[in-house]
Structures are given as C-alpha cells and as structure tokens.
Structure 1
Amino acid sequence: MALRVFGLNIVKTNRNLLQNACKFSAPVAGYVAAALFATEVTVQAAPAAVQKQRVSKAMRAYLKRANEHDEFMKTQHLEFQIGKRHLANMMGADAETFTQEDIDEAISYLFPSGLYDQKARPAMKSPEVVFPARKAAEFDETGRPFHSMFYTGKPNFFQLLHDIVEETNKLADLEERMLRRGNKPDENQKLGIAGFQLLPKDQLELLLVESIADIEYSNFTKSMDRLIASPYAYKSKAFIERYLKPLMDQSKQLEVPKPRIDEEGRQYITTYECLRKTARADVTVRLPGTGKISINGKDISYFEDENCKEQLLFPLQFSELLGKVDVEANVEGGGPSGQAGAIRWGIAMSLRSFVDQEMIESMRLAGLLTRDYRRRERKKFGQEGARRKYTWKKR
C-alpha cells in the first residue's frame, strides 16, 4: 500500500504498522488496517478535490488585472531607467548618480523655456510619481486574502499602527532592561527631528493607498509622538524616518522686496546684477507710469532687432502692466541678445513687487524669474564647430 503526504513516501511506515498489527488479535489488526486505508483514501482524494475547484470569472479577471498592472509598471520603470541613462549621457554625467533634480535641470536646459503652461512643459518623472499607486492582488485563486488584517477594511493602516506599537514595546523593554542594569541612554545618539514633521494626511494616504478618517490620522500622530518621545528612539530611526517629511526651508524662498517711494511719490524697485552671457544691467521699474522705456538714455529703439524688443516687452505684456509702469535700464557688455536678456530678467524680478502671488507663480512657470546661465559652447578640436563635424569624403 503506497501513501504520499506532501511528496513524502511513507510506504515503509505503513508496512511496519501492518506487521505490528498482525501480532495483535484479529479485531485490532483489522481496525488498524481500516484506519490506514481510510487515511490513504483521504489523503489521495484531497488533491483531486483541489484540482476540481474552479476559479470564478470575477476572481480570474481580478487576478489578470493585477498582474497586468504589475507588468505595466515594470515596463515603465525599465523605460524610465533607459531614458535617464540617455539623458545623463547627453549631459556628460554619470547615469548611476543622476538624480531627479539633475533630470529636471537637464530638461530645462535642453528644451525651450517659453512654455508657461505647466501641462505643456516637458517632464520626466518616475513611474511611481506619474501613475497613481494601486494595491497589489489581495486574494489568491481560492479567494483567500493575503493580508492578515484584510477584514479590518484598512489593512495597510492598521498594519502600520501594529508596527508602531511593536516598535514602542521593543523600546520600552529595552529601557526597562537598561534601568535594571543602571545604564542611561546615550545623549549623543538622541534622535533629533528638528526640521522634520510627520507626513500630512494626504501624503500618508498616498503611501498606504488607503483613505483614512481624521480620527484615524490623529491616532497615527499620537502613536508616532509616543514612539519618538522614547529616550531610545534612535534605535528605531530607520522606521521613524519613513513617515517624516522635511520642512520647507524658508530661507531658500525668494523674498519679494517692498517698493520704495521716490521724490515724486511713485513706487519704484531697482534690481541690480542682471546678468546674461557677458552683459550686465541695472533695472528700475516705477509705478504708476506711462509706459516709458529708457535704455542707456535712449528709448526702446536702442535695439534694432525686433526679437530683442519682443524679449524686452514680454514680461510687461505677461503681467498686464504694459503702459502702466516706467522702465529705466543701464546695461553694458555683451551683444544685443545678451543685453536684452539681462534687462528682461531685471524687469521680471522688479515686477514681482507690483503683482499678486498668483501672477508671480505664473511668471515663474513661464521661466521669467529663472536666470539664464547659458554660455556659448566652445569649438572642439578636430571639429568644424562646437557640435558640427567636418564632412567626411571617401576620396
């Protein structure tokens, strides 16, 4: 009699049991043989029952969608890595250390900056940022949930609370053991969270891929505060940092200067160090005005090229202050294009004091508040120009 349980052959065991059973009386031997036969029939019938189980169409479609989404994200992530490597090669940087900030700077350098609509501007982000996060498959083919807290309704959130309590209990036990030994926590390793805050509710929901109520978010913050307050919180530093967000550095924000008052009672702002290529300019904008533009003592006809004039007037047209302010500029060095770019940037920076915050954000998206650091690229040895190559001829 052969019997297999989880791939293990136990024929020898059954044979020994039958031989031992024969030593007893006939009723006992028959009882043991019947028990072994019943065990064999039950174990052999179990796989057949599993094979006959059918997966419902809804469950099959659910698993198919989940697998398709996983494959799609893998493909997108692979394409993102290839694109990042190509972009790094174009910029002459190391692809392994090319960060998202480097990607944004490379795109702003390679593509035109005149697109002020945010949706029209080119971007290259990680697939996790572009595509909304989705939960992975939560059931197997038999309909059983993978997560132990599935029936709570919010398994990821309650799993997070469970993990926080576990970390807190570990630190409490550690503190108790240290007190028994007479040891104190190391003050040099004290966890400092200055400049950080807990993730806001909306960001926590994105991380958990679940919507939570205000009272549930309050429970999360209270639990995290209790964990951080432990004197041995540095032992759980890696866990705590997952749910911390750095505060915005206010010193990095551009402060809008307040306008001054001149002898005529008009408001004015002067912007110095307006640079573009080798040109340098100082720009003064006065409000109210009549639309007068003075460049080195001349009017806008100082520039003969129409493109330079359009560059100069674009910030005024964009902010709808053309004809309402007076502009005085002193510029030196560089050519017409560089001088026009320097004055344009100075006008845009000065106009921030006369418009609202929404217009300032629109000007920033339009690229008016970004200084252009581009320079003429040098000619390369063995080439006709900076990028242009000599024409190859066979003879």
Structure 2
Amino acid sequence: MIPIIKFVVRNSNYVSWSSSSVTANGAKVLWPSTLTVSFCTNNNDSEKKPSVKKTSKAMKAYLERARKHEEFIKKENLEYQIGKRHLANMMGEDPEFFTQEDVNKAIEYLFPSGLFEPKARPFMKPPEEVYPPQKAAEFDEAGRPYHFLFYTGKANFYKLLYEVVENINNLNKYEDRMIRKHLTPDPTQAMSMIGSQWLPQDVLEHRLVEPLHESQYAAFKLAFDRLVSHPYSYRVRDFIEEYRKPLVNQVALQQIPEPQYDENGRPYVTTTNCLRKRSWAEVTVRGAGSGKISINGQGLDYFAEIQSREQILFPLIMTKQLKNVDVEAKVIGGGPSGQAGAIRWGIAFCLRSFVDKEMIEQMRLAGLLTRDYRKPERKKPGQAGKRKKFTWKKR
C-alpha cells in the first residue's frame, strides 16, 4: 500500500519538485504517475489586510482652505440677510419679498452719491457676487488629477483653446463635404463682429477662475479670430458669442448727440450698431422731413408682415414725429422680427435729438431706449428642438 503524503505549505500556492522520489524514515518511496499530492494553504495566514488610502498633503491643504472659505461665505451671507431685513424695515417693505433690485434702489435713495466711478459707490450684494469663486477640487484623495490638462497649470484656459481647435476641425470636415457636393457657404449667414468685442482679460479670468498672462490672452483672441474667419463659422455662433461683449457705451446713452447738418441745411442723426437677435442695422433720422421711410432702398413694404411695420412706426407715432422726420435704414442678417427690432431701437435712439426731456423719459419708460440682448435658444442634443422632445414609444 502506497501512503498518501500530505504537504502543508504556508504563504505559497504551488510547490515544485526536481526529483521523482522522496525519502521517508530512511526508505525510498517512488512516485507513481497516478499518485495525487494535495497542497493545503493556511487561509488564515494568507488573508491580506485592507489597504488604507492615505490623503495627500495637497488634498489636506485644499480641504482646509475650502473649509475656511465656506465658513467665511456662510458668515458673510448671514450678515447680508440681516442687513437686508434692516434695510427693508427702514423702507417700510416686507423683508420676505425684498429683492436685490429693491436693495439697490434703497441704497441709492439712502446713500446718494455723485461719484462717477461705479466701484466707489456704496452697494450691498450677496457675498457670492462680491468675493471671487474658488476652484473645485482638481484631484482625488490619492492626489490624482481629474482634469486631463491639469499639469499645464491652467486647465480651463487650455481646455477652451482645445474646444476652439475642435470646432475648427469639425468645420473643416463640413466644408469638405460641401465642396464634394459643389455647394458654397451662404453669404447672408456670415458672422458680423460689428458692435461687439472679445471679453476683456479680467472678465475672462473671472469666468475661467484662472489668472492669465498677456500673451495667453493674445492667444485666446488669435484662436477665436481664426475660428470667426472660417466661412462656416456661423454653425458655431452660440459658442463664439459666449465670449463676445456688446459695445454699449453707458456714457453715450446718457449724452444726447447734437444733430449734424447736411449740404441742404437739414439736421440729421445717425446711429450705428443697432442690434437685435442676429440682425444689425444703421439708422439715420433727418429732420424737416415729410415722413418718408427708406429701408435698404425700399419703402415700408420691405416688411411683408403688419407686425414688423408697426414696430417701425411705434416710436414715430409715440413722439408725434411721423410727419416731421425722414428715416433711412440699412439692415442685414436675421429675419423680419429681428430686423424690425433693430431698426426700431435705432429710430428711438435718434429721436432723442428731436424731442424734449419729458418725451425722452416717456420713451425710456415705454422700453424704446432699452437694448434687447435676447438670443435664440440653441437646439439641444438628443431632442427634436430647443424644448421639443422626441415622441416616447414603449414598443
């Protein structure tokens, strides 16, 4: 009878032998081919203790800064709420329905200031709007960065440049498809940068939550200029306009321009950069006229819809200047509604030089002197339109 030898192996899962025999008690025992040797491991010894993840020093420092910032914001927010309630009681209003607009009016009433610089005037705003935001954690507890551009030092800035290059490549692919189809870009949809500029460096830094050097800001403008120069740049209009700022001079809004005189002695005022949706217009109002209206060389019948014509006539009828002035307008881009809105704002802006201050105040209250910055909402991916959804079918 061949004995079965049981080997107990600790901290190992296999044993290798170089000989086909083993000696037991001085006797040599041969290993037959059918002999099975079982190896047992001690499970108690092989159990591994769970590894404890250590928090990196950078993460500890960030958590400490975040904790102090949250405590500071919480304290400032509490003081802001208390101050707003006191201000509402001083004005005789309900504190529960006292909005930020009411706060601004109350500050202007209680603390009048003739200072021209807005930063020198007293104000009261929530602490989230006063103090700059802090970046969120960019790495996990083990110190591994979340962002793939973390080690560049300015991840948000270089990600923005990456998106610009990605849009340019997509537009190039689209242009190649159009060329193969023998199609050319629509010139009426070309983007116009008139009346707006790129975001200033300080505004861009606040949006990216990163300080930028002058060379990096120049690279930002150069990249976007290249994107705008693409013949199909209107396909990414929404992305470009996120980093554009309309040129609206607040001082010019308060100062009424003096009329100029042509060779016939007629006074006239010209307003450029009249914007509405995707339309741009240039409007000239001439005094001592007969009510003639010219839009791109045509009459008021340039607009087929009655609503658009009423938009043009509204400021003239309100100021009672319909038969006293002539209007000349040049408009491009957009549709009838946007073009009519741009011309209406330009006419109202020019009419300030032909009416008295009381009428100007009435125009302001009627909303004729307020620029409408609303833009068309973009289509959402995975949806049928801007808000419309695809029909859901269970089967």
How would you bin the TM-score normalised by the shorter chain? 0.3 to 0.5
Structure richer in helix, relative to its length:
1
Relative CO higher for 1 or 2, CA cutoff 8 Å, sep ≥ 6? 1
